[in-house]
Amino acid sequence: MEEIGFLGLGNMGKAMSITLLCHGVNVTVWNRTHSKCDELLDYGASVAKTAAAVVKKCKYTIAMLSDPSAALSVVFDKGGVLEQICKGKGYIDMSTVDADTSSKISEAITSKGGSFLEAPVSGSRKLAEDGELVILAAGVKALYEEAHSLFDIMGKKTFFLGHVGNGAKTKLLVNMLMGSVLAAFSEGVLLAEKSELDPESILNALDQGRFANPLLLTKGISMIESSYSHAFPLEQQLKDMRLSLALANEKAVSMDVAAVANEAFEKASSMGFGGFDFSAVHEAVKDLSIRRHID
Ligand code: NAP
Protein backbone atom coordinates (compact mmCIF):
# COMPACT_ATOMS: atom_id res chain seq x y z
CA MET A 1 0.00 0.00 0.00
CA GLU A 2 1.03 3.63 -0.60
CA GLU A 3 2.84 5.49 2.19
CA ILE A 4 0.23 7.49 4.11
CA GLY A 5 0.99 10.79 5.85
CA PHE A 6 -0.54 11.67 9.20
CA LEU A 7 -0.45 15.19 10.69
CA GLY A 8 -1.47 15.72 14.31
CA LEU A 9 -0.81 13.19 17.03
CA GLY A 10 -3.17 14.37 19.76
CA ASN A 11 -5.55 11.99 21.52
CA MET A 12 -7.37 11.10 18.32
CA GLY A 13 -4.58 11.36 15.76
CA LYS A 14 -2.26 9.16 17.78
CA ALA A 15 -4.92 6.45 18.17
CA MET A 16 -5.92 6.63 14.49
CA SER A 17 -2.36 6.48 13.19
CA ILE A 18 -1.55 3.54 15.48
CA THR A 19 -4.67 1.75 14.22
CA LEU A 20 -3.45 2.26 10.63
CA LEU A 21 0.06 1.03 11.51
CA CYS A 22 -1.36 -2.04 13.30
CA HIS A 23 -3.23 -2.90 10.09
CA GLY A 24 -0.01 -2.91 8.08
CA VAL A 25 -0.29 0.59 6.59
CA ASN A 26 3.01 2.43 6.16
CA VAL A 27 2.60 5.78 7.89
CA THR A 28 4.81 8.87 8.04
CA VAL A 29 3.84 11.17 10.90
CA TRP A 30 4.38 14.78 11.90
CA ASN A 31 3.25 16.68 14.98
CA ARG A 32 3.83 20.30 16.00
CA THR A 33 5.31 19.10 19.29
CA HIS A 34 7.86 16.83 17.70
CA SER A 35 8.51 14.66 20.78
CA LYS A 36 4.99 13.17 20.45
CA CYS A 37 6.18 11.38 17.29
CA ASP A 38 8.61 9.19 19.27
CA GLU A 39 5.99 6.79 20.57
CA LEU A 40 4.88 6.06 17.03
CA LEU A 41 8.38 4.79 16.13
CA ASP A 42 7.66 1.67 18.21
CA TYR A 43 4.74 0.92 15.88
CA GLY A 44 6.93 1.27 12.78
CA ALA A 45 6.04 4.82 11.75
CA SER A 46 8.47 7.08 9.91
CA VAL A 47 8.78 10.61 11.22
CA ALA A 48 9.07 13.80 9.15
CA LYS A 49 10.31 17.22 10.26
CA THR A 50 7.52 19.29 8.69
CA ALA A 51 4.01 18.83 7.36
CA ALA A 52 5.38 19.76 3.92
CA ALA A 53 7.92 16.93 4.12
CA VAL A 54 5.09 14.46 4.85
CA VAL A 55 3.12 15.65 1.83
CA LYS A 56 6.22 15.51 -0.37
CA LYS A 57 6.74 11.85 0.58
CA CYS A 58 3.12 10.63 0.54
CA LYS A 59 0.39 10.40 -2.09
CA TYR A 60 -2.28 10.75 0.60
CA THR A 61 -2.01 12.81 3.80
CA ILE A 62 -4.51 12.77 6.66
CA ALA A 63 -4.76 15.54 9.28
CA MET A 64 -6.36 15.37 12.73
CA LEU A 65 -5.97 18.77 14.41
CA SER A 66 -7.64 20.56 17.27
CA ASP A 67 -9.64 23.37 15.68
CA PRO A 68 -10.01 25.74 12.70
CA SER A 69 -6.91 27.79 13.50
CA ALA A 70 -4.75 24.64 13.79
CA ALA A 71 -6.19 23.21 10.57
CA LEU A 72 -5.45 26.46 8.69
CA SER A 73 -2.01 26.87 10.19
CA VAL A 74 -0.86 23.38 9.16
CA VAL A 75 -1.90 24.05 5.57
CA PHE A 76 -0.93 27.71 5.05
CA ASP A 77 2.02 28.41 7.36
CA LYS A 78 5.71 27.96 6.61
CA GLY A 79 6.57 24.29 6.24
CA GLY A 80 2.89 23.54 5.68
CA VAL A 81 0.91 21.31 3.36
CA LEU A 82 0.57 23.88 0.55
CA GLU A 83 4.31 23.91 -0.06
CA GLN A 84 4.22 20.37 -1.45
CA ILE A 85 0.67 19.53 -2.43
CA CYS A 86 0.34 19.04 -6.18
CA LYS A 87 -1.52 17.12 -8.85
CA GLY A 88 -1.83 13.45 -7.97
CA LYS A 89 -1.81 14.03 -4.19
CA GLY A 90 -4.76 13.96 -1.82
CA TYR A 91 -5.29 15.80 1.47
CA ILE A 92 -7.90 14.50 3.93
CA ASP A 93 -8.71 16.69 6.92
CA MET A 94 -10.50 14.72 9.66
CA SER A 95 -10.46 17.55 12.25
CA THR A 96 -13.77 19.04 13.45
CA VAL A 97 -13.92 22.52 11.91
CA ASP A 98 -16.56 24.80 10.39
CA ALA A 99 -17.53 24.67 6.70
CA ASP A 100 -15.82 27.98 5.96
CA THR A 101 -12.45 26.72 7.21
CA SER A 102 -12.86 23.52 5.25
CA SER A 103 -13.74 25.46 2.07
CA LYS A 104 -10.66 27.70 2.43
CA ILE A 105 -8.45 24.64 2.72
CA SER A 106 -10.20 22.92 -0.17
CA GLU A 107 -9.76 25.94 -2.46
CA ALA A 108 -6.06 26.25 -1.62
CA ILE A 109 -5.37 22.54 -2.15
CA THR A 110 -7.35 22.50 -5.40
CA SER A 111 -5.57 25.62 -6.69
CA LYS A 112 -2.30 23.67 -6.44
CA GLY A 113 -3.77 20.71 -8.35
CA GLY A 114 -4.30 18.46 -5.30
CA SER A 115 -7.59 16.90 -4.26
CA PHE A 116 -9.34 17.46 -0.95
CA LEU A 117 -11.73 15.62 1.30
CA GLU A 118 -13.04 16.69 4.70
CA ALA A 119 -13.80 13.70 6.89
CA PRO A 120 -14.60 14.63 10.51
CA VAL A 121 -15.44 11.76 12.82
CA SER A 122 -17.94 10.85 15.48
CA GLY A 123 -16.46 8.74 18.24
CA SER A 124 -13.81 8.88 20.92
CA ARG A 125 -10.19 7.90 21.47
CA LYS A 126 -11.31 4.39 22.47
CA LEU A 127 -13.39 4.03 19.29
CA ALA A 128 -10.38 5.33 17.29
CA GLU A 129 -8.22 2.64 18.93
CA ASP A 130 -10.82 0.03 18.02
CA GLY A 131 -11.30 1.27 14.44
CA GLU A 132 -14.96 2.01 15.22
CA LEU A 133 -15.28 5.68 14.26
CA VAL A 134 -18.15 7.05 12.17
CA ILE A 135 -16.63 9.07 9.31
CA LEU A 136 -18.51 11.97 7.70
CA ALA A 137 -16.72 12.56 4.39
CA ALA A 138 -17.38 15.20 1.74
CA GLY A 139 -15.42 16.63 -1.17
CA VAL A 140 -13.77 14.92 -4.12
CA LYS A 141 -15.60 11.63 -4.69
CA ALA A 142 -12.62 10.00 -6.42
CA LEU A 143 -10.42 10.68 -3.39
CA TYR A 144 -13.15 9.29 -1.15
CA GLU A 145 -13.11 6.07 -3.16
CA GLU A 146 -9.30 5.87 -3.18
CA ALA A 147 -9.17 6.39 0.61
CA HIS A 148 -12.01 4.01 1.40
CA SER A 149 -9.71 1.19 2.52
CA LEU A 150 -8.17 3.58 5.10
CA PHE A 151 -11.61 4.66 6.32
CA ASP A 152 -12.55 0.98 6.66
CA ILE A 153 -9.57 0.52 9.01
CA MET A 154 -10.29 3.62 11.11
CA GLY A 155 -14.07 3.45 11.14
CA LYS A 156 -17.07 1.16 11.29
CA LYS A 157 -19.12 3.28 8.88
CA THR A 158 -18.26 6.02 6.40
CA PHE A 159 -20.76 8.36 4.79
CA PHE A 160 -20.11 10.37 1.62
CA LEU A 161 -22.13 13.57 2.05
CA GLY A 162 -21.48 15.48 -1.18
CA HIS A 163 -19.65 18.78 -1.53
CA VAL A 164 -17.11 20.28 0.89
CA GLY A 165 -18.81 21.76 3.95
CA ASN A 166 -21.47 19.07 4.25
CA GLY A 167 -19.22 16.86 6.38
CA ALA A 168 -18.24 19.77 8.64
CA LYS A 169 -21.85 20.89 9.06
CA THR A 170 -23.10 17.36 9.73
CA LYS A 171 -20.45 16.86 12.41
CA LEU A 172 -21.32 20.20 14.09
CA LEU A 173 -25.01 19.33 14.06
CA VAL A 174 -24.32 15.94 15.67
CA ASN A 175 -22.21 17.54 18.41
CA MET A 176 -24.72 20.36 18.98
CA LEU A 177 -27.38 17.71 19.63
CA MET A 178 -25.03 15.74 21.88
CA GLY A 179 -24.16 18.85 23.92
CA SER A 180 -27.76 20.03 24.24
CA VAL A 181 -28.98 16.59 25.33
CA LEU A 182 -26.14 16.21 27.80
CA ALA A 183 -26.83 19.59 29.42
CA ALA A 184 -30.56 18.73 29.75
CA PHE A 185 -29.62 15.33 31.12
CA SER A 186 -27.41 17.00 33.71
CA GLU A 187 -30.41 19.02 34.91
CA GLY A 188 -32.34 15.74 35.27
CA VAL A 189 -29.56 14.24 37.42
CA LEU A 190 -29.54 17.37 39.59
CA LEU A 191 -33.33 17.36 39.97
CA ALA A 192 -33.23 13.68 40.96
CA GLU A 193 -30.65 14.43 43.65
CA LYS A 194 -32.55 17.47 44.98
CA SER A 195 -35.79 15.46 44.99
CA GLU A 196 -34.03 12.85 47.14
CA LEU A 197 -34.42 10.24 44.43
CA ASP A 198 -31.71 7.72 43.69
CA PRO A 199 -30.21 8.98 40.39
CA GLU A 200 -28.65 5.60 39.67
CA SER A 201 -32.07 3.93 39.73
CA ILE A 202 -33.26 6.57 37.30
CA LEU A 203 -30.32 5.84 34.99
CA ASN A 204 -31.09 2.12 35.16
CA ALA A 205 -34.79 2.71 34.46
CA LEU A 206 -33.89 4.92 31.47
CA ASP A 207 -31.53 2.25 30.25
CA GLN A 208 -34.37 -0.26 29.97
CA GLY A 209 -36.63 2.03 27.92
CA ARG A 210 -36.71 3.69 24.49
CA PHE A 211 -34.33 6.41 25.74
CA ALA A 212 -31.59 3.83 26.46
CA ASN A 213 -28.27 5.35 25.47
CA PRO A 214 -24.79 4.10 26.41
CA LEU A 215 -23.37 7.63 26.33
CA LEU A 216 -25.91 9.00 28.82
CA LEU A 217 -25.48 5.99 31.11
CA THR A 218 -21.70 6.44 31.45
CA LYS A 219 -21.84 10.24 31.58
CA GLY A 220 -24.66 10.05 34.15
CA ILE A 221 -22.49 7.96 36.44
CA SER A 222 -19.66 10.52 36.11
CA MET A 223 -22.12 13.27 37.06
CA ILE A 224 -23.47 11.39 40.07
CA GLU A 225 -19.94 10.70 41.30
CA SER A 226 -18.61 14.17 40.28
CA SER A 227 -15.69 12.26 38.78
CA TYR A 228 -14.77 13.20 35.25
CA SER A 229 -12.36 11.44 32.89
CA HIS A 230 -10.59 13.17 30.00
CA ALA A 231 -12.45 11.15 27.33
CA PHE A 232 -13.92 14.02 25.27
CA PRO A 233 -12.53 17.32 26.57
CA LEU A 234 -15.19 19.89 27.42
CA GLU A 235 -13.11 22.53 25.58
CA GLN A 236 -13.67 20.61 22.32
CA GLN A 237 -17.41 20.33 22.95
CA LEU A 238 -17.49 24.07 23.63
CA LYS A 239 -15.69 24.73 20.33
CA ASP A 240 -18.31 22.61 18.53
CA MET A 241 -21.23 24.35 20.31
CA ARG A 242 -19.82 27.76 19.32
CA LEU A 243 -19.30 26.69 15.70
CA SER A 244 -22.78 25.14 15.47
CA LEU A 245 -24.39 28.29 16.93
CA ALA A 246 -22.46 30.37 14.37
CA LEU A 247 -23.83 28.10 11.63
CA ALA A 248 -27.37 28.52 13.02
CA ASN A 249 -26.90 32.29 13.05
CA GLU A 250 -25.69 32.24 9.45
CA LYS A 251 -28.75 30.19 8.42
CA ALA A 252 -31.13 32.33 10.55
CA VAL A 253 -32.19 29.34 12.67
CA SER A 254 -32.98 30.02 16.35
CA MET A 255 -31.35 27.43 18.57
CA ASP A 256 -32.55 28.54 21.99
CA VAL A 257 -31.98 25.16 23.65
CA ALA A 258 -28.44 24.87 22.25
CA ALA A 259 -27.72 28.49 23.25
CA VAL A 260 -28.61 27.78 26.88
CA ALA A 261 -26.62 24.54 26.81
CA ASN A 262 -23.69 26.52 25.39
CA GLU A 263 -23.85 28.90 28.38
CA ALA A 264 -23.45 25.91 30.68
CA PHE A 265 -20.40 24.71 28.72
CA GLU A 266 -18.95 28.26 28.77
CA LYS A 267 -19.48 28.38 32.52
CA ALA A 268 -17.89 24.94 33.08
CA SER A 269 -14.89 26.06 31.05
CA SER A 270 -14.56 29.26 33.12
CA MET A 271 -14.69 27.08 36.27
CA GLY A 272 -11.57 25.22 35.06
CA PHE A 273 -13.20 22.06 33.65
CA GLY A 274 -12.09 22.61 30.03
CA GLY A 275 -9.62 19.72 30.09
CA PHE A 276 -12.08 17.29 31.67
CA ASP A 277 -14.67 15.19 29.89
CA PHE A 278 -17.66 17.23 28.68
CA SER A 279 -19.90 15.53 31.28
CA ALA A 280 -18.25 18.02 33.69
CA VAL A 281 -20.87 20.46 32.36
CA HIS A 282 -22.77 19.08 35.37
CA GLU A 283 -20.59 21.20 37.68
CA ALA A 284 -21.75 24.34 35.86
CA VAL A 285 -25.39 23.22 35.88
CA LYS A 286 -25.15 22.77 39.67
CA ASP A 287 -23.38 26.10 40.14
CA LEU A 288 -25.81 28.03 37.90
CA SER A 289 -28.75 26.47 39.72
CA ILE A 290 -27.42 27.56 43.14
CA ARG A 291 -26.71 31.11 41.92
CA ARG A 292 -30.14 31.54 40.32
CA HIS A 293 -31.85 30.48 43.52
CA ILE A 294 -29.77 32.81 45.73
CA ASP A 295 -30.43 35.85 43.50
P1 NAP B 1 -5.89 17.07 20.96
O2 NAP B 1 -5.57 15.87 21.75
O3 NAP B 1 -6.02 18.37 21.64
O4 NAP B 1 -4.79 17.19 19.80
C5 NAP B 1 -4.78 18.32 18.98
C6 NAP B 1 -3.73 18.18 17.90
O7 NAP B 1 -3.71 19.41 17.13
C8 NAP B 1 -2.30 17.98 18.44
O9 NAP B 1 -1.59 17.18 17.55
C10 NAP B 1 -1.77 19.42 18.44
O11 NAP B 1 -0.36 19.50 18.38
C12 NAP B 1 -2.36 19.92 17.14
N13 NAP B 1 -2.37 21.37 17.06
C14 NAP B 1 -3.07 22.25 17.82
N15 NAP B 1 -2.82 23.51 17.43
C16 NAP B 1 -1.92 23.44 16.42
C17 NAP B 1 -1.31 24.40 15.59
N18 NAP B 1 -1.55 25.71 15.73
N19 NAP B 1 -0.45 23.97 14.65
C20 NAP B 1 -0.20 22.65 14.49
N21 NAP B 1 -0.77 21.67 15.23
C22 NAP B 1 -1.64 22.07 16.18
O23 NAP B 1 -7.27 16.86 20.14
P24 NAP B 1 -7.95 15.48 19.74
O25 NAP B 1 -8.76 14.98 20.88
O26 NAP B 1 -6.96 14.59 19.09
O27 NAP B 1 -9.04 16.01 18.67
C28 NAP B 1 -8.64 16.30 17.34
C29 NAP B 1 -9.90 16.70 16.55
O30 NAP B 1 -10.85 15.63 16.58
C31 NAP B 1 -10.63 17.92 17.12
O32 NAP B 1 -11.08 18.72 16.06
C33 NAP B 1 -11.78 17.32 17.91
O34 NAP B 1 -12.89 18.20 18.00
C35 NAP B 1 -12.10 16.09 17.07
N36 NAP B 1 -12.72 14.96 17.80
C37 NAP B 1 -12.24 14.60 19.03
C38 NAP B 1 -12.82 13.51 19.69
C39 NAP B 1 -12.32 13.08 21.06
O40 NAP B 1 -12.95 12.22 21.68
N41 NAP B 1 -11.22 13.62 21.56
C42 NAP B 1 -13.86 12.80 19.09
C43 NAP B 1 -14.29 13.18 17.82
C44 NAP B 1 -13.71 14.26 17.17
P45 NAP B 1 0.52 19.57 19.73
O46 NAP B 1 0.69 18.15 20.18
O47 NAP B 1 1.78 20.21 19.31
O48 NAP B 1 -0.27 20.40 20.72
Quick: pLDDT tens for 94-140. 999 999 999 999 999 999 999 999 999 999 999 999 999 999 999 99
Q: How far is the CA of 63 from the centre of ligand 1 (A)?
A: 9
CATH architecture observed for domain 4-163: 3-Layer(aba) Sandwich (3.40)
Asked if the model's pLDDT at residue 199 lies above 90, the reply is no
Choice among 23-27, 66-70, 171-175, 208-212 with the minimum mean pLDDT: 208-212
Local structure of residue 82 (DSSP, 8 states): G
**For residues 234 and 249, is the Cβ–Cβ distance under 8 A?**
no
DSSP-derived pairing of the beta strands 90-93 and 60-63: parallel
Instruction: With cut-offs at 50, 70 and 90, classify the pLDDT of residue 1.
Output: low
The per-residue b/e assignment along 101-131, b for 16 or more CB within 10 angstroms, e otherwise, is: bbbbbbebbbeeebbbbbbbbbbbbebbbeb
Residues with CB under 6 A from ligand 1: 8-13, 31-33, 36, 64-67, 69-70, 73-74, 95-96, 121, 123-125, 232, 236
In this prediction, residue 295 carries a pLDDT of 59
Nearest Cα to Cα of residue 37 among 63, 14, 3: 14
Per-residue pLDDT tens for 9-34?
Answer: 999 999 999 999 999 999 999 999 99
Query: In whole angstroms, how far apart are CA 191 and each of 164, 199, 289?
Result: 42, 9, 10
Of 71, 73, 122, residue with least CA distance to 92 = 71
Each residue of 68-106: pLDDT tens digit?
999 999 999 999 999 999 999 999 999 999 999 999 999
Q: Give the position, in ligand 1's atom list, of the atom nearest the Cα of 14.
A: 26
* Average of per-residue pLDDT values in the chain: 96
Query: Which CATH architecture does the domain made up of 169-294 adopt?
Result: Orthogonal Bundle (1.10)
Q: State how far the alpha carbon of 69 is from the alpha carbons of 62, 119, 143, 257, in Å.
A: 17, 17, 24, 27
Question: pLDDT exceeding 90 applies to what percent of the chain?
Answer: 93
Residue ranges of domains in the chain? 4-163, 169-294
